[in-house]
Amino acid sequence: MNYFPDEVLEHVFDFITAHRDRNSVSLVCKSWYKIERYSRQKVFIGNCYAINPERLIQRFPGLKSLTLKGKPHFADFNLVPHDWGGFVYPWIAALARSRVGWLNCFPDSCTSLVSLNFACLKGDINLTVLERLVARSPNLKSLRLSRAVPLDVLQRILLRAPQLVDLGTGSYVHDPTSEAFTKVKAAFQKCESIRSLSGFLEVTPRCLLAVHPICPNLTSLNLSYAPGIHGNDLIKLIQHCKKLERLWILDCIGDEGLSVVASTCKELQELRVFPSDPFGGGNASVTEEGLVAISAGCPKLHSILYFCQQMTNAALITVAKNCPNFTRFRLCILEPTKPDHVTSQPLDEGFGAIVQSCKGLRRLSMSGLLTDKVFLYIGMYAEQLEMLSIAFAGDSDKGMLYVLNGCKKLRKLEIRDSPFGDAALLEDVGKYETMRSLWMSSCEVTLGGCKTLARKMPRLNVEIINEGDQMEFNPDDRQKVDRMYLYRTLAGPRKDAPEFVWIL
């Protein structure tokens, strides 16, 4: 390979798309490092404190796409304080000079736009400028709109961009008997290229009739932000989507609706069922019956996120037999320590069946009543596991040690409200060099244990987070820490930590 010109190698590298493979290529030799550096256009940063933006820009001067993660994963459950850090502004300041009138920043000569996503932006936008931008972008394939884009503008955009493959709608509220609805329905009928549909941030259920013509071609449907769609309207929509490979939906679909998905969507590969009311006291509308139906009807399923009200070992064992190709299995029972609701036993055997049957499992999230036994199963059978999230589980330090000793490819471990302490934390500190991060909150870890870890592993950042009850300058080492976040870094200790974050 060293005899090939750099231009040839750069063209070969274009076919290497996985971030991990690109990283490996750059380590082969200095020549490959240089070629990969200048040809790399997409970068994934799993922890914004693992590197600073200036070093990233220096390393990859041709960067066009950056995926950046800030707060630890448990931030989604309000366990990480709001002002803990993970601020995106330093990255924005380093990557761009201004965000002011951003639509006007596209010059009239710009006709190469491929993807535009502003679904999460609040406030008004210049609709006229948006329409002109879409009209002069014949290569636009993906467009995600915010609530600020009304139905009549959507109709005109669809007429100007019939080549769209991925569409996210904004405000979809209108009278189905109106002229605007008739026009948008006609516009959808001309969009034969759309394969991915999402959005419906505001929706009148009867307006869904307008998208029925494109449903037979859809491979991806995301209704996780559409609480206004439920019942028969939702089921009728799903029945038109026979080619779906990816479905994100709220639990208001119910077990009956999931049975319809199972009988209709034989190509389904990824399913996420979110709680329509995550703070409603465990009133999820789906149970183990819906999960079993999906596993029986969708043999190609390999990734699932399932929020439910109850679960049984028998159901999990059946799911493991029906879908041995799972690479991601995340189950969240809204009552976190609830046992098998039929036998009142822990769910160890059910999750044990998952890790034993699914040989390629890379990501696992568990809930329900669990003992150390399930961690023994994980350490024995989950050979490919890279990320594990657990809560309210285990009996002793043995549980955590089973995982750390057995899962050789583990990269991220997230633990909350579990009885693991210093013995498990310090048993094999060298393991953390091969991991991206470890999060522990409301466990039995002490300040002294964290200090010992920091001394032994100076290349790791060890953060103690004690919001409210802040530690004194020289507190008792036997004091339990509220939250501990450990991660690898090339940038050293971060400099923007608030007062309640102590970096050891």
pLDDT (tens digit, 9 = 90+) per residue, 310-361? Answer: 999 999 999 999 999 999 999 999 888 999 999 999 999 999 999 999 999 9
Answering whether pTM is above 0.95, one says: no
Strand 42-45 relative to strand 483-488, pairing: unpaired
pLDDT band at 128 (very low <50, low <70, confident <90, very high): confident
Cβ 283 vs Cβ 307: under 8 Å: no
Cβ 308 vs Cβ 333: under 8 Å: yes
Output the CA–CA distances (angstroms, integers) from residue 382 to 100, 390, 408, in the order listed. 49, 15, 9
Residue that has been written with the tokens 């809560």 in this structure: 391
Q: What is the pLDDT of residues 149-167, one digit of tens each?
A: 888 888 999 999 999 999 9
Residue that has been written with the tokens 């959808």 in this structure: 188
* pLDDT(116) > 50: yes
Collapse the DSSP code of 94 into the 3-class scheme (helix H, G, I; strand E, B; otherwise coil) and give the result: helix
Cβ 57 vs Cβ 94: under 8 Å: yes
Average per-residue pLDDT for the chain: 88
Collapse the DSSP code of 114 into the 3-class scheme (helix H, G, I; strand E, B; otherwise coil) and give the result: coil
Q: How far apart are CA 19 and CA 21, in angstroms?
A: 5
Question: In the chain, what are the domain boundaries?
Answer: 111-218
Q: What is the pLDDT of residues 205-214, one digit of tens each?
A: 777 888 888 9
**The residue type at 473:** F
The answer for residues whose C-beta is within 8 angstroms of residue 20's C-beta and 6 or more apart is none
